[in-house]
A and B are shown apart, each in its own frame.
Chain A
Amino acid sequence: MSVPASVASVFRGRVLATAGTCWLLVVGIAAVGAPLLAPFDPLEFDPFVRLSEPGWPHLLGTDHFGRDSLSRAIYGARMAILIGSGSVLIALVAGGLIGMLSAYFVRLGHFLMRVVDVLMAFPALLLALVLMTLLDRSVLNTIIVIGIVYATTTARILFGMTLKLKRDVFVDAAICSGAGHASILFRHILPNLVSPMLVQASFIFAFAQLQAAALDFLGLGLPPEVPSWGNMLSEERVYVTRAPWLLIFPGALIILSVFSMNLVGDALRDNIDPRFKDDIAGV
C-alpha cells in the first residue's frame, strides 16, 4: 500500500482522529512560524497593561508582567513540540535498543531487563522528580528526564515484541541465508516494529506534555522565563480568581494537544499488526 493510501486508511471514518491531526498541524505551524505569527515579543514586560482582559491589541490578554499571552502561547507550541519529540526520540532510541538487544541476546537481556525492572520500581513522576533534583532546570534536562522515564516502558514493550518476532520463520530464513546479528536485528526485525513504535511514540508524546506541565507546575521543569504552556499555568495560577482567562487558554491548549495525540495514537493502534495490539496500553 502506498503511503498516502495507508494514511487515508488510518483516518477513514475517524472524524475525531482527523480533527486531532489537523489541530496538531496547527500547533506545528505555530511552532515553526512563531517569530512571524506572534504579535508581540513573548518575553517583553509591559507594566502598564498587567492582567489585561482579552481584547485589542492583546487578543488573549496579558499576564502579571504585562506579557502578551497569545505570543507566549504561540512560542509555547515550540516547547510542546520540542519536549514531545525530544522525549520520544530518547525513549524510542534508548528503550528500543535496550528492548531489542535484550530479547535478541538472552544473556544480556537477563541483566538489562533487571535494570529496567529496578527503574520501573520507581513510579514515573517520582523518577522524574528525583532526576530533576540532580539536574539543573533546563529545556534539555527536562527532555532527557522525561525521555528516560518512558524509555523504561518502551524497553519492556519492545522486549516482548522482539521475543515474538524472533521465533518467526523469516528470522530463521535470515539466519540460514547467513545474515549477521546486526542485519537480522535492524534489517529484518526492526522494520516489523516500526508501526508499533509509531503508536508508542504518539502516546509518549501525549504523556510527555502532561509530565512536562506537571514538572513546570511544581517548579522543577523548564526555567520559569521559558514560554511554555505549563509555565504559563504555573506562573499565573495565583491570579486564577482575578484573571481566570489566563489559565483557560494554556490549559485548553495542553488538553487539546494531548487529546489529539491520544486520538491519533488510538487510530494508529487499530491499524497495526494484531499480534502487538495488546502490548501497547496507551490511555
Chain B
Amino acid sequence: MLVYALNRTLTLVPTLLAASFLVFMFIHLIPGDPASILLGDAATPEEVAELSRELGLDEPLWTQYALWLANVLQGDLGTSVFFREPVLSVIASGAETSILLATMTMLWIVLFGVPIGIVSAIRQGSWVDQATSGGAMLFASVPTFWLGLYLILIFSVGLGWFPSSGFPSLADEGGASNLRYLVLPSLTLAAPNAALIIRLIRASMLDVSREDHVRTARAKGLHPARVAIKHIFRNALIAVSAAFGFTFAALVSEAVVTETVFSLPGIGRLVVQSILRRDYPVIQGVILIIVVFYMVINLLVDLAYASLDPRVSLK
C-alpha cells in the first residue's frame, strides 16, 4: 500500500508540471505583449518595461517558466488588473463561498442520491426503478442555469422561502443562518450530479449482487434488507466513493454557471467575470489553483480507494 501511495503521488509530479506549463503558456497565447496584458490598459510604458524585466521576457521561454514557477511556489500569482490586489487574496476571498457551496451540494447528493440509488437497485425492473432511473436521466439533461432560474422564480419570487442571490459571509451579521442563501444554488448544482450518483450506485450494486458472497448470504437465509445493506451496498460503496471524490473536485468548476445565476461571490463567478474583464492574471491564477485542487483531490480519492479495496494496489 505504501509503495502504491508513493508511486501514485510521484506520477502526479510530471502531470502537475505539464499542467502548470500550460497554464503559464496561457498568457503567451493571447495576442500581444505579456507584460502589457498582465498590467492592463492603464499601465504606463515604464511599468510595462519594469514588469517585462521582472518576468524575464527577453529570456528563453524555459527561464521565464522557471521564474514564474518560483514565484507561484512562493504564493505570488501576480496582481489583479481589476482589483489592484494580489491574485491570491482575490481568489481567497471567493474560497469560503465555493467551499461551502460544494459541501452543501455534496450533502444533498448523499441525502437524496444514496437512498434513491439503493431503492432503485433493490427494486430492479420495478416501476420505482424505472421512474427513478428515468427521472435521474431527465435531471441530468436539464441545463443548470435553467433549473436555477426556475428555482428562484418559484422559491424566492413566488414563495419567498429563500433569498434569490448573493451570499454574505458566515462571519457577517446573521452567522450560520446565512447558509440559507446557499440552499437554492446547492440544490441546482446537486440535481445533475445526484442523477449521476443514483445511476452509479444502482449499476455497482447490481454488479456486486451477482457475486458469490451475496448468493451465500442469501442462501444462509439472511434478511434481504440486511443482504442489500451489509453485503451489497457496502461493497458497491467502494466504487461509489471514488465518484464522490471526483464529483466534489468537479463541483468547484461546475459551480461557474450556478454562481453566476445566483450572483454568489465564489471562485466560479470570479472566473467568468475575470474573463469578461480581461483580468488575465486572475484567470491564470484561478485555473492553476482549480487544476491543482482537482488533481490533489483525485490523488486522495485514488489513495482512499486503494485502502478500501486492497486489490487496487496489488495490480
Contact = CB atoms under 8 A, between A and B. Distances in A.
A4 interface: no
Contacts of A218: 256-257, 260, 272
B102 interface: no
A219 interface: yes
Nearest to A252: B146
A129 to B, nearest CB: 6
A283 to B, nearest CB: 5
A255 to B, nearest CB: 5
B140 interface: yes
Task: Report the contact-size class of chain B (Cβ under 8 Å from the partner).
Answer: 35 or more
A33 to B, nearest CB: 25
A266 B202 CA distance: 15
B199 A283 contact: yes
A241 B157 contact: yes
Q: By DSSP majority rule, is chain B's interface helix, strand, loop, or mixed? A: helix
Interface stretch (A65-73, A93-101, A119-127, A141-149): A119-127
A37 interface: no
A121 B143 contact: no
Interface stretch (B1-9, B51-59, B222-230, B287-295): B287-295
A80 interface: no
A259 B143 contact: no
B205 interface: no
A118 B149 contact: no
Contacts of A263: 137
A241 B138 contact: no
Nearest to A215: B257
Given A121-B15, A283-B195, A133 B275 contact: yes
B250 interface: yes
A126 B141 contact: no
B108 interface: no
B251 to A, nearest CB: 9
B176 interface: no
Contact of A122 (B19, B145, B146, B195): B19
A121 B19 contact: yes
Interface in A105-124: 114-115, 117-118, 121-124
Interface string A226-256: 0000100100010011001001000100110
B219 interface: no
A276 interface: no
Interface in B243-292: 249-250, 252-254, 256-257, 260, 271-272, 275-276, 283, 287, 290-291
Nearest to B280: A133
A123 B294 contact: yes
Contact of A118 (B15, B146, B260, B271): B15
Contacts of B136: 283
B26 interface: yes
A210 interface: yes
A219 B252 CA distance: 20
B18 interface: yes
A206 B211 CA distance: 34
A133 B283 contact: yes
A122 B15 contact: no
Contact of B287 (A130, A213, A214): A130
B42 interface: no
A220 B136 CA distance: 28
A70 to B, nearest CB: 19
Contacts of A115: 18
Contact of B254 (A117, A125, A283): A125
Nearest to A244: B153
Contact of B253 (A114, A123, A133): A123
Contacts of B199: 283
A266 B137 CA distance: 10
Nearest to B284: A130
Best-buried of A217, A237, A240 by chain B (most CB within 10 Å): A217
A88 to B, nearest CB: 17
B170 interface: no
Nearest to B29: A134
16 contacts: A118-B22, A121-B19, A123-B250, A123-B290, A132-B275, A206-B141, A214-B143, A214-B145, A219-B276, A237-B149, A241-B153, A251-B143, A259-B138, A266-B137, A283-B137, A283-B199
Interface of B: 14-16, 18-19, 22, 26, 29-30, 134, 136-138, 140-146, 149-150, 152-153, 157, 195-196, 199, 249-250, 252-254, 256-257, 260, 271-272, 275-276, 283, 287, 290-291, 294-295
Cβ-closest 5 pairs across A and B? A258-B141, A123-B253, A259-B141, A126-B253, A251-B146
